[in-house]
Amino acid sequence: MRKKFLVTATTMAMTLMTITGCGASDASVKTTADTAESTSSEEDSVEPASEDTASEEKTDDAEGGLYDGKVILGHSSWIGYAPLNVADELGLFEKHGVDVDIQSFESKSDSRAALAAGRIQGMSTTVDTQVMSAAQGLDIQIVLAEDTSDGGDGLSAKSEFTDIPSLKGHTVALDTSGGASYFWFQYLLKENDMTLDDVEAVNMSSGDAGAAFVAGEVDAAVTWEPWLSRAKEAEGGAVLVDSSATPGIIVDALAMDTKFAEQYPDTVKGIIEAWYDAVDLIKTNPDEAYPIMMNFTGDETVEALEGELEGVTFYDRDGNKAYFGGDIQKIAGMAADLWVETGLIESAPDMDSMINGSFIDGLE
Segment 13-42, tens digit of pLDDT: 333 333 333 333 333 333 333 333 333 333
Instruction: Give the distance between the most distant pair of CA atoms in the chain.
Output: 65
What sign does the CA torsion over 10, 15, 16, 19 have?
positive
**For every residue of 109-136, which 3-state class applies, written as one string?**
HHHHHHHHCCCCCEEEEEHHHHHHHHHC
Q: Within the chain, how many helices (H) and strands (E) appear? A: 18, 13
pLDDT in tens, 66-95: 899 999 999 988 889 999 999 999 999 999
* Alpha carbon separation from 73 to 84, 108, 116 (Å, rounded): 9, 13, 13
User: Which strands, in side-by-side order, build the sheet including 200-203?
Assistant: 19-20, 30-31, 200-203, 171-174, 220-224, 153-158, 237-242
CA pair distance 145, 254, nearest whole angstrom: 6
Q: Does residue 363 carry a pLDDT above 80?
A: no
For residue 12, pLDDT over 70 is answered with no
Q: What is the average per-residue pLDDT within 327-355?
A: 94
pLDDT at 293 over 70: yes
- What is the pLDDT, as a whole number, of residue 62? 52
| pLDDT given at position 169 | 98
SS3 assignment, position 101: strand
Q: CA-to-CA distance for 281 and 209, rounded, in angstroms?
A: 35
Residue 362's pLDDT is: 66
pTM: 0.79
Q: What is the rounded CA–CA span in Å between residue 37 and residue 104?
A: 14
Stretch 286-315: mean pLDDT: 93
Which domains, from first to last, does the chain contain? 9-34+152-245 (3.40.190.10), 42-150+251-361 (3.40.190.10)
